[in-house]
Amino acid sequence: MRKKILVWILGVFYFVAPACAELKVDIVAGAVEPVSVAIQKFEVGPHVRSRDAAMLRDVVDADLKSTGLFRIVDRKALPEYVEMGQMPNFKLWSAVRAQVLVQAKLTAEPDDMYRLEFYVWDVAAAEQIEAQSLVASKKSLRRLAHIMADAIYERLTGETGYFDTQIIFITETGPIGGRVKRMAIMDQDGYGMRYLSDKNTFVMSPQFSPNMHTVVFLSYRDNDPMIWTLDLDTGEQRRLGQFGGMNFSPQFSPDGSRIALSLVKKGVTHIYEYDIESQTLRRLTSGGTINTSPSYSPDGKKLAYNSNRSGSQQIHVLDLETGEQQRITYGAGRYATPAWSPDGQFIAFTKIADDTFFVGIMNPAGRNEKILAGGWFMEGPSWAPGSRRIVYYETEKDDDDIERHSHIRSVDIMGQNIYDIKLPDGVHGMEPTWSPRLP
């Protein structure tokens, strides 16, 4: 069961006239100079373990640094320690080139709870720009840090934060000739990985519901490839329905009322839409071609998918209201696995050209294509909330051309700041899907 977070927004404690223009990070500019953020050692109240406060600070540091938009000021260079409720000496912080100062305090609450208070200061303007108080159980301590990092990120960029999120994916373990695949979930920074399926059933293509209560996935239980759902709160699994053929590539609609999927009948693969309440299925594509990998637009009115109806694998967009279908990719190579960004401005894709796999983005009309990463094999882009970053997986081979290692990686929309999400030793990661913000 998920741990609930209670959040209170505190009022601003100091009002100081701004000395310059508002501090803002331009997240769409290329090669932007990172904003310098100084995060003080967290204050601790009675009955609070210092290591808990230290861990919170480390997580906030790591979250902000991972974006590539912020530089964390070296802790040894911090000029003073400012207690909560006291005014910082902004000249001292400016001298170490800190543009933002963050103070925080962790105190114990009744019923095994913690309270985290934090203030964010614009050093040049000498004003407080954010103040919040968060309360959670001690078991949810890391979530406090992620929510705090989200608040700082959102205040400085104006965009939706994505640190208090999770990633669901498929793990591979064991030798290359006998890999075991299981469904797993972890925090977006790789912490707290746990399995959601056993090692006896082959599973693929997990996707979150919008409310984060349910996962839909493909299961080969009893050697019958069918779509199942998993209740994340209870662990209950249910088969979606009897569709009379192999079905795969499920995805929830933005409102959670429908699931798009691919269904094979008589050797032809079409995209269908399943209405959860009425338990009815309707076909969305036609012809004798292969149509798969559906992805809804954020408003639920359109569906991107890949099809070979033009003679090669390309991305098409279907208007669900009019039925009109349009091919949008015409570049060299084959295109697959479209994924609509949460803000609707981009479609991420996999591209195969010149014996190389690429992950990229384009606008919904198929224009302004931008390649973000390339390699021997990569696939499955999925968006973080806010549409700033993409998670995908890349498979690499050893020099002996025998071993294969799959990594889950993240990249921003400028094609910069690529990094691996660390998994436990011996675990390979595939088919990641980024969750919405946690409830």
Q: What is the pLDDT of residues 57-81, one digit of tens each?
A: 999 999 999 999 999 999 999 999 9
pLDDT in tens, 266-297: 889 999 999 999 999 999 999 899 999 999 99
What pTM, to 2 d.p., does this model score?
A: 0.92
Tokens 């025998």 belong to residue: 402
Q: Which domains does the chain have, with CATH numbers?
A: 6-157 (3.40.50.10070), 166-434 (2.120.10.30)
**φ, ψ for residue 322 (rounded to 5)?**
-105, -20
**For residue 232, how many other CB atoms are within 10 A of its CB?**
19
Query: Is 119:151 a contact under the CB 8 Å cutoff?
Result: no
State the Cα–Cα distance between residues 197 and 10, nearest whole angstrom.
Answer: 42
Please give the single-letter amino acid code of residue 375. Answer: G
Q: What is the pLDDT of residue 193?
A: 97
53: alpha, beta or left? (left if phi > 0; alpha if psi -120 to 50): alpha
Residues of the chain with pLDDT under 70: 1-32, 401
83: which 2 tokens?
A: 């207690």
Q: Are 371 and 356 in contact (CB under 8 A)?
A: no
Give the C-alpha distances (Å, rounded to integers) separating 416 from 44, 80, 215, 335, 422. 37, 34, 30, 22, 18
pLDDT number for residue 11: 41
CA 195-387-303 angle, to 5 degrees, is: 85
**What token pair was written down for 182?**
């299981």
Contact 244, 268 (CB under 8 A): no
